[in-house]
Chain A
Amino acid sequence: MMAPPVALSTSVMKGGLNCYAISEGHKLATASSGRLGAVYITIVTCSPRYPVMDTNDIDEEEFGFSRNYFLAKESGSSIKKSRSKISDIGVIDEQELLEAMSRIEPKHEKEIKSLKDSYRSLYSQWRFQIRCGFGLLHYGFGSKRTLLEDFASTALNDYTVVVINGYLPSVNIKQVAAGLADALWEVLKAKGKTSAASSPSWKQTTSSQAMDEIISFLNGPWGDDDIFICIVVHNIDGPGLRDSDNQQYLARIAACSHIRIIASIDHVNAPLLWDKKMVDLQFNWIWHHTPTFELYTIEGMFFPLILTNGSSSQNAKSASIVLQSLTPNAQSVFRVLAEHQIVHPDEEGMQISNLYAICRERFLVSNQVTLNSYLTEFKDHDLVKTKRHPDGEDCLHIPLSTEALQKLLQDISFCRCMS
């Protein structure tokens, strides 16, 4: 009957979400956090006029929860810690491991299929809920990528569906919003809503106001309430969307009258990304427990392997994936940096002024601001580290071996040729 109890626990989501929950007979009403851990907690006591019926149950659950925590702590300290090291395992080469991972034979394919088939029978209900204005939030163990896309392709054919890959570290919510506005504009144009089609006001505004204008456009009203764009957000709690600003923007977009949202979460602390207003008023979630037990193949690409993590070579594959999602100009800037590092492997790195000069010569950037924005992107994704040059100037260094860098450059070139 009650919200999940929370007790004296501290959890940290990768990417900087610090979540502190408290118990003591209070209900956690609002808890949202910024990127680097600003935590707001509002404690609301129960209304005395409408007493809660099952207080004892909550106390017991909370007690059990905190007891488990202290027991685990205790057993951790009382049992003699094992001195075994990862290196004793005899770790196989990373490349070989990655290849083996791509060949992993999934277990229980038949059962997983029948589980997904059972969800297919619910598609009509989910569609009904979306048409009634709700957002769908899917949780449970297993990748929900194929499930959500299958649902969208099967049951939402009447509507334009835009997919956001929240597991990618490089999602830019403003670009997404502009894409959604374009999609809605096309739909309105096709439906002959001429007043809307002739005034795409967000296209004429400056970048600082663009988001407000776009949201106002998405909110309409454009007449028929059955005209909407569906957004499917894989991993709305993913690293690229986890900060407070992105979640606020997503909530504002989801609250627009011509937008419906279908999302998946995988992290156990994901609900703490939102406050009550976002959950109930803006996202307007209906929760669906849909474990699929499918492998997180795509979602897990950006995580370093446990057995090879900490070794000198960074995961070149994940760097390649991040780079592929950046703009061609950003890729070219990275290439300049990488080529310099390959030619001068013994140097501390490339000086920023030097990089700027070369990029300007090659017409990759027109000013320092653009270059800085690319560099910020690289640093955010750990593609580049800053080091202090002996002469005092900052220089840039890619934390990859020369071989890994060469392979990475080949990968980028190949992908660009393919595209």
Chain B
Amino acid sequence: MGDSASGRSPATDNENYLQPFFVLHKAKPQVSEAKPARRRKVDSSLGSPKRQRGNHGGGEEEKEKEINREEMRMEAFKLVWSEIEGNAKGVMEEVHRESYQAINSWVQESFNTIRSRVEFGSAETSRPFPSAVNPISKRLFTALISTRNIEMFDEQETFKNLTMHLKSSGCYVANLSSMDFTAHSGISSVLKNFLKQFITTSFEVVDLSILATWYKDQGKSGAPMVLVINDLERCHGSVLSEFILMLSDWVMKIPVMLIVGLATTVDIPRSILHSEALQHLQPCKFNLGTLGERMDAMSYGIFLKHDLGFSVSHKVASFMRDYFSSHGGTLSCFVRALKIACVQHFSTESRSIMLRVLAEENKQGKKHDPLPELVDAFCLNTLLSGRNESTKDAKKELVSGLTEVKRFHGQWRTVVLCLCDAGKYSKVHLLDLLCEALDPEIVQSSEPDPSKQSTLDIGGYNQKFSTKAKGFISQVIAKIRDLPGPTLHELLKKWEVHFGGMDEILEKLRILQHMLGDKNVARSKENAMDILKKRPSRSISSSEKVSESVNENAASFLKYLIQNYLRPIECTPFHEVVCFKDVQKLQAALMGVSRRQIQVDLIDSTEILGCTCCLRSSGALAPSMHDTAIMYNSSQEQGDLINVHDWYNCFKLILLQPIDEGTPKRKRSSKSKKAETSFKAGKLPEVAIQARFCRAVTELQITGLLRMQSKRRPDYIQRVAFGL
């Protein structure tokens, strides 16, 4: 990035720092128009050697290239992320589809009931207000949706999709949230926001009669009206109760149904709503999928639905799983963590633009291979530019490397899908399986140790695999051994779908399926021998043993797949192009530990600043250290109350002490010496020491590490933070 903003004059700064807000600068004109031009420049130069010759230009050209690279990475990111996000949304919709349909049916049934009441009590509907007098007619049909998710913001998408689903079925749908039902805004605000969602023209009087007229004017008496409130627990009880009573008075003219999201239990309306309002509800309970089901679907959508895209390492995946567990199990946080990982990958890995072509293939189902073309485009913008042989080799290597990564990942994905199908019977979660399957330690390069590993050498690669004794993959394999015949048959059928294009495996699977269907003992034994060449033969004498043998063979088949095809992405060359591995960076970006870190900054200021003049072998505080660091470090020896006088004297003593104690002279730079001279004993006047003391205390106060003296204790200040 170019030069700093130090070009701004101090005068400008002086004017601005006292303004509550100010415009630092305005956008450069015609930015968006300039970008396509840059892009065209890149596209037109694909593979052009002329472009490469011009690369020796000055800083401007380099800057232009950097902007181009950022644009390319941004485009690639947008494409890749839109695919991941789309997949995640798609699978979540799929998970909730049954619930949506059940709710829709309930809406239609409730609406029909209201209509039948209207026909029956036509006298009531013709009344001006209140239209309904019969207590049964005044009942509001209410769907209580138990989300079992304490963080309701995580369910925003769920309710948004439900709204869309209902709208597509012809319902009029309005959405209100706890932000509308507050004591501060009151019932009129709720009513206004409710009406605004149906009536687009302006209205002066806020009354439900307007809505009744609007509904009548629509001429579509066949359409139900639905009001969705997604977070009941946070609503103000009195306001919501009043609104319910109001709606119930109008239900014969405005056939509205309530859909209410509950984070806790279905009993919660009793503790929130007034009893009178409760009497006007006719509740019906619905459940959304469990958190585990949703997480499984999400993991599938993100990591497995499509072939190779953006990927994460074992450590990153494990971290994300733990982050999900320890942060209230919110799916949106999990997706956010993945997005941050993706952003960090694209912003730090220059070759990440290669992911663009992979995403396009996934999106459009392209079968051609434009990888070399993209590598060329990339090479023009990076250090690989040039026409010599070594560059050509590097390009070739990159193309072949990526092709290999893609092939290995495809095989890995197939095996994980098989594990996922089998894992459903042992209630193992997909995310757990994924984390284990991504572990590079699952593949061992060392010589086989018969006591620890099960090894099979049926063609393919000579890698060995080791599963943890109590690992999830081991659990899945163990479960297969116990599966009853029909279930195993069902499982093998599911597996068959995943082996498109892998004829060798498909053949072995068919043999297994054949064994399962065949009652002939000898045949079973023969096939078993065929599949497991190295396993010792066993005498099989009864039908139970046949079944046992098939299960054993299925388990061995899965082991064979793991052995030969479950190659974690981190074990393949060039994986760093598509795989994000920096777990610490992700962790730091996701959850800053500001409370701890500010204190660490002060305690380890010398280390962070990297200065040599403050280092003391004895660990004593040096006068050349940052004033606030001296103060904070010296406060650590105090109790919760610090006497200001004593603290000042301590600070003064440190500032006035000789500087050359404990530090070898040869290590000190000239700059350090210069800095030190101003802190020599007797050189610092009292006023400067007091000023430094005041400044340091103010800074500690800004960071919240100190509380100022009270009237009761004017000579003491209080420490606030104790330990990191």
C-alpha spacing A143/B66, complex, angstroms: 30
Binary CB contact string for chain B from 657 to 686 against chain A (1 if under 8 A, 0 otherwise): 000000000000001000100100000001
Contact of B678 among A105, A161, A268 (CB under 8 A): A105
Q: What's the least CB distance linking B442 to chain A, in Å?
A: 18
B contact residues around A159 at 8 Å (CB): 27, 31
Supposing A141-B601, A287-B589 touch, asked if A300 and B699 sit within 8 A by C-beta, the answer is: yes
Contact of A81 among B601, B641, B723 (CB under 8 A): B641
Q: Contact residues of B with A, CB < 8 Å?
A: 1-8, 16-29, 31-32, 35, 66, 70, 73-74, 77, 81, 150-151, 153, 156, 291-292, 295, 318-319, 321-330, 332-333, 336, 339-340, 343-344, 346-348, 429, 431-432, 587-599, 601-602, 605, 608-611, 624-628, 638-641, 643-646, 648, 671, 675, 678, 686-688, 690-695, 697-699, 701-705, 707-709, 711, 714-715, 717, 719-724
Q: Is the CB of A161 within 8 A of B23?
A: yes
Q: Is the CB of B704 within 8 A of A13?
A: yes
Q: What's the least CB distance linking B409 to chain A, in Å?
A: 24
Q: What's the least CB distance linking A212 to chain B, in Å?
A: 10
A contact residues around B343 at 8 Å (CB): 128-129, 132, 134, 286
B contact residues around A307 at 8 Å (CB): 644, 648, 690, 693-694
A contact residues around B597 at 8 Å (CB): 139-140, 289, 291
Q: Is the CB of B595 within 8 A of A268?
A: yes
Q: Interface residues of A, CB < 8 Å — how many?
A: 141
Q: What's the least CB distance linking B723 to chain A, in Å?
A: 3
Please report which residues of chain A, range 63-100, place their CB below 8 angstroms from some CB of chain B when the two chains form the complex: 64-65, 67-69, 71-77, 79, 81-82, 84-86, 88-92, 96-97, 100
Residue in chain A with minimal CB distance to B81: A132
Q: Is the CB of A3 within 8 A of B326?
A: yes
Query: Would you call the interface of chain A mostly helix, strand, loop, or mixed?
Result: mixed
Q: Is the CB of A128 within 8 A of B21?
A: no
A contact residues around B646 at 8 Å (CB): 82, 84
Q: Is the CB of B74 within 8 A of A267?
A: no
C-alpha spacing A362/B588, complex, angstroms: 57
Contact of A164 among B21, B325, B626, B714 (CB under 8 A): B21
Which candidate, A186-194, A366-374, A385-393, is the interface stretch facing chain B?
Answer: A186-194
Q: Is the CB of B594 within 8 A of A154?
A: no
B contact residues around A191 at 8 Å (CB): 32
C-alpha spacing A162/B609, complex, angstroms: 31
Supposing A107-B675, A168-B18 touch, asked if A265 and B27 sit within 8 A by C-beta, the answer is: no
C-alpha spacing A295/B626, complex, angstroms: 10
Q: Is the CB of B686 within 8 A of A27?
A: no
C-alpha spacing A124/B7, complex, angstroms: 20
Residue in chain B with minimal CB distance to A79: B639
C-alpha spacing A179/B643, complex, angstroms: 46
Q: Is the CB of B325 within 8 A of A51?
A: yes
Q: Is the CB of A289 within 8 A of B26?
A: no
25 sampled A-B residue pairs with Cβ under 8 A: A9-B722, A11-B721, A14-B701, A50-B295, A50-B432, A52-B322, A64-B723, A82-B643, A84-B646, A97-B690, A100-B688, A115-B610, A132-B74, A134-B343, A140-B601, A160-B23, A161-B24, A183-B26, A268-B721, A277-B151, A280-B330, A287-B592, A305-B694, A308-B694, A309-B708
Q: Is the CB of B5 within 8 A of A154?
A: yes
Known: A46-B326, A47-B324, A159-B31. 7 other contacts (CB 8 A): A9-B722, A84-B645, A92-B687, A141-B602, A153-B4, A163-B24, A269-B704
Q: Is the CB of A76 within 8 A of B639?
A: yes
A contact residues around B326 at 8 Å (CB): 1-3, 27, 46, 52
Residue in chain A with minimal CB distance to B16: A163
Residue in chain A with minimal CB distance to B589: A286
Supposing A13-B704, A89-B648, A276-B153 touch, asked if A291 and B608 sit within 8 A by C-beta, the answer is: yes
Which candidate, A224-232, A347-355, A399-407, is the interface stretch facing chain B?
Answer: A224-232
A155 in the interface (beta carbon within 8 A)? yes
Residue in chain A with minimal CB distance to B596: A4
Q: Is the CB of A232 within 8 A of B24?
A: yes
- A to B contact number (C-beta, < 8 Å): 381
Supposing A73-B640, A124-B347, A153-B5 touch, asked if A280 and B722 sit within 8 A by C-beta, the answer is: no
Q: Is the CB of A42 within 8 A of B150?
A: yes
Supposing A161-B25, A232-B24 touch, asked if A281 and B698 sit within 8 A by C-beta, the answer is: no
Q: What's the least CB distance linking A355 to chain B, in Å?
A: 25
B contact residues around A81 at 8 Å (CB): 641, 643
Residue in chain B with minimal CB distance to A137: B592
Q: Is the CB of A76 within 8 A of B641?
A: yes
Q: Is the CB of A65 within 8 A of B722?
A: yes
Q: Is the CB of B702 within 8 A of A266?
A: yes
A158 in the interface (beta carbon within 8 A)? yes
Q: Is the CB of B592 within 8 A of A150?
A: no
B contact residues around A92 at 8 Å (CB): 686-687, 690
Q: What's the least CB distance linking B399 to chain A, in Å?
A: 26
Q: What's the least CB distance linking A249 to chain B, in Å?
A: 12
Q: Is the CB of A303 within 8 A of B4?
A: no
Supposing A190-B29, A276-B330 touch, asked if A171 and B708 sit within 8 A by C-beta, the answer is: no
A41 in the interface (beta carbon within 8 A)? no
A312 in the interface (beta carbon within 8 A)? no
The interface centre, meaning the residue of A162, A287, A304 with most chain B CB atoms within 10 A of its CB, is: A287
Q: Contact residues of A with B, CB < 8 Å?
A: 1-4, 9, 11-14, 27, 29, 42, 44, 46-47, 49-54, 64-65, 67-69, 71-77, 79, 81-82, 84-86, 88-92, 96-97, 100-101, 103-105, 107-108, 110-112, 114-115, 120, 123-125, 127-129, 131-132, 134, 137, 139-142, 145, 149-150, 152-155, 157-165, 168, 170-172, 175-176, 179, 183, 186-187, 190-191, 224, 226-227, 232, 240, 265-271, 276-277, 280-281, 284-289, 291, 293, 295-296, 298-300, 303-310, 321, 324-325
Q: What's the least CB distance linking B178 to chain A, in Å?
A: 11
C-alpha spacing A58/B675, complex, angstroms: 42
A contact residues around B605 at 8 Å (CB): 141, 293
C-alpha spacing A95/B692, complex, angstroms: 14
C-alpha spacing A91/B693, complex, angstroms: 11
The interface centre, meaning the residue of A74, A111, A308 with most chain B CB atoms within 10 A of its CB, is: A111
Q: What's the least CB distance linking B698 to chain A, in Å?
A: 4
Q: What's the least CB distance linking B427 to chain A, in Å?
A: 9
C-alpha spacing A276/B714, complex, angstroms: 39
Q: Is the CB of B594 within 8 A of A270?
A: yes
Q: Is the CB of B23 within 8 A of A162?
A: yes
Q: Is the CB of A139 within 8 A of B644?
A: no
Q: Is the CB of B587 within 8 A of A1?
A: yes
Q: Is the CB of B328 within 8 A of A68?
A: no
C-alpha spacing A150/B691, complex, angstroms: 28
A contact residues around B25 at 8 Å (CB): 152-153, 157, 160-161
Supposing A72-B722, A150-B5 touch, asked if A298 and B327 sit within 8 A by C-beta, the answer is: no
Supposing A27-B327, A162-B24 touch, asked if A265 and B594 sit within 8 A by C-beta, the answer is: yes
Please list the 10 inter-chain residue pairs (A to B) with the smallest Cβ-Cβ separation, ordered nearest first. Answer: A76-B639, A153-B5, A287-B592, A68-B723, A84-B645, A100-B691, A50-B325, A141-B601, A128-B347, A267-B704
Contact of A96 among B16, B319, B687 (CB under 8 A): B687
Q: Is the CB of B340 within 8 A of A29?
A: no
C-alpha spacing A115/B81, complex, angstroms: 33
Supposing A107-B624, A131-B74, A299-B702 touch, asked if A140 and B598 sit within 8 A by C-beta, the answer is: yes
Q: What's the least CB distance linking A75 to chain B, in Å?
A: 4
Q: What's the least CB distance linking A94 to chain B, in Å?
A: 10
Q: Is the CB of A108 within 8 A of B690?
A: no
Q: What's the least CB distance linking A37 to chain B, in Å?
A: 15
B contact residues around A89 at 8 Å (CB): 644-645, 648, 690
C-alpha spacing A346/B624, complex, angstroms: 50
Q: Is the CB of A154 within 8 A of B23?
A: no
C-alpha spacing A162/B346, complex, angstroms: 27
C-alpha spacing A27/B333, complex, angstroms: 15
Q: Is the CB of A306 within 8 A of B698?
A: yes
Q: What's the least CB distance linking B322 to chain A, in Å?
A: 5
Q: Is the CB of A267 within 8 A of B695?
A: no
Q: Is the CB of B705 within 8 A of A107?
A: no
The interface centre, meaning the residue of B21, B24, B704 with most chain A CB atoms within 10 A of its CB, is: B21
